Structure 1
Amino acid sequence: MCKERLGILCSGRGSNLASIIEAVERGDIPAEIAIVIADKADAYALERAREKGIPAVPVIYRDYAERADFERALLKELQAHGVTLVVLAGFMRILSPIFVHAYTGRILNIHPALLPSFPGAHAHRDALAYGVKVSGCTVHFVDEGMDSGPIIMQAAVPVLEGDTEETLAARVLEQEHRIFPASIKLYVEGRLRTDGRKVQILHVAEGGSL
């Protein structure tokens, strides 16, 4: 059986990328990272990948007049590297239906809030402004909406008195590094079954069969 080939899209430091690389190196995720793509030339995620000998390519959003052209460039790189699962690890671009349809059911994202609460780019700010006592992170399949796909896994963290966006983000990030590799592992092992909005995690029976 061929291994899944991961294509990881990033926009910044790539700390979630680092946790995924470590999980692959440990053998926790039985897959290969085929390519890392960043939408900014100076994204440190590219350097993290290159240090590990992983193909790393900048596809710069501002170099394209239209989003469709940018997404076609992304898809060209992913398909050229035989990617079977797209992983959005801090990728700060909303993907159009054209891209999503190219990898239907094969795109995972991590979001720093307990969806469906606080979707979008400012989850920590929004959570603090609302006054919630608990926040966290969510791994979900990507659909055509914004942070609206079926939920695979979530982790909660307390919101503490005096928290700032930075302090809350740091605690949430620790949980992101735990549940994102775990969710990718479940996908790669074929242990996720989606029924509408619900994602069932299949357990491995004795002998290794599902």
Structure 2
Amino acid sequence: MSTQPPLLLALDLVGTFAFGLNGALTAIRATRLDVVGVVTLGMMTALGGGVIRDILIGSVPPATFQDWYYFALALAGALIAFALGHWLHRLEMPITVLDAVGLSVFAVIGASKAIEYGLGAGPAVLLGVITAVGGGTIRDLMIGQVPTVLRSELYAIPAMVAATLTVAALGLEIYGLGAALAAAAVCFVIRMLGVRFGLNAPRPPGSAAQRR
């Protein structure tokens, strides 16, 4: 069982469910997959980043395979998306909000776990970002798309900010539930501002995307 503070654990679980739901909905919109394909991609979105992180830091078997509720929530989110995908498009903003919660908490937890396993600041920040965006990247590659995190929206940048704040708090020995929630909140706000105002990361000068 996880040793995270109850509130952080609850947000982690909400994020897992939301990633499973959103990942499966993305797969449905982009492909003609059956239930196995949709559920598989939804679960990869929810769990993939954490699995990559745990393998890289030597925490095996990954937490996903030790705590059954992560697996169950990812599965539930994917199945709900499969069954109700035609209706859930009406709830795009609430789902985006939940997805932003997951992004924020995953980045914080990923970075703190990397530091716990003895990694330096740079690798810990990187693993925080991988935890947050790795699953979605795997999903996009499997459906033949350039990963969203590489081409549009403020997604990886907020995760990097949250991971950096987490590593800084750990380095200053002020990390705790409050610091973790503050780092996650900063990520959440940046992400939602990007959604609200259609903000994107800078693109190369003169690129086709920039001209549009």
Normalization by structure 1: what TM-score?
Answer: 0.36
Answer 1 or 2: higher relative contact order, Cα 8 Å, separation at least 6: 2
Larger strand percent: 1
